[in-house]
């Protein structure tokens, strides 16, 4: 599976010269945790809730610009990056999101939460037919176990 299959489009951005409080307010309104920071139509950073000090971070945000609190070393990915590669980038760099680039344009964003949700839902594509049949038989076997037998084996 590739990032273009799970990325969120319509990426929310903010100008580097905006106030840190404006970034916090936008995140609250949009119910998101990351904004891609732009300057002259180029990606120059990412600002997260953590960068802004979280709910109690009024002092962190006070009289500061986004450029002062953002993470300037932006790690990006291409839309054909695999889920595994993306997970390794996020984990290895200790970051929470990857802006997805197509050329020099931001086409989407993938967050660590997106990958966890994907993992939690499981694979959406069906496996090979034989594998599905084996899984189906296993699931059927577990459905036939009476509840009383489950309680007895737990003792």
Q: What is the pLDDT of residue 124?
A: 56
Please say if the pLDDT value at position 81 is more than 50. Answer: yes
How many Å apart are CA 29 and CA 19, to the nearest integer? 16
| Two tokens, residue 15 | 């100008």
How many Å apart are CA 75 and CA 89, to the nearest integer? 8
Q: What is the pLDDT of residue 134?
A: 46
Domain ranges of the chain: 3-121
Q: Render pLDDT for 93-151 as a digit per residue (tens, 0 to 9).
A: 999 999 999 998 999 999 999 999 888 876 555 445 444 444 444 444 444 444 444 44
The arrangement of secondary structure in 3-121, i.e. its CATH architecture, is: Roll (3.10)
Task: For the beta carbon of residue 130, count every other beta carbon within 10 angstroms.
Answer: 8
Q: Identify whether the C-beta of residue 7 lies closer than 8 Å to the C-beta of residue 70.
A: no
With 0.75 as the threshold, say if the pTM is over it. Answer: no
How many Å apart are CA 150 and CA 155, to the nearest integer? 9
């Amino acid at each position: 599976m590739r990032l273009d299959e799970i990325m969120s489009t319509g990426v929310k951005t903010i100008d580097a010269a905006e106030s840190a409080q404006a970034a916090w307010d936008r995140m609250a309104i949009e119910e998101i945790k990351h904004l891609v920071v732009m300057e002259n139509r180029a990606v120059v950073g990412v600002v997260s809730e953590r960068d802004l000090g979280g709910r109690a971070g009024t002092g962190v945000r006070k009289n500061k610009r986004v450029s002062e609190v953002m993470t300037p070393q932006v790690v990006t990915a291409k839309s054909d990056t695999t889920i595994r590669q993306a997970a390794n980038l996020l984990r290895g760099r200790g970051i929470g999101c990857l802006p997805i680039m197509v050329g020099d344009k931001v086409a989407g964003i993938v967050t660590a939460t997106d990958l966890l949700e994907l993992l939690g839902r499981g694979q959406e594509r069906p496996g090979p037919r034989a594998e599905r049949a084996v899984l189906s038989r296993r699931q059927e076997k577990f459905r036939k176990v009476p509840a009383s037998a489950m309680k007895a084996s737990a003792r």
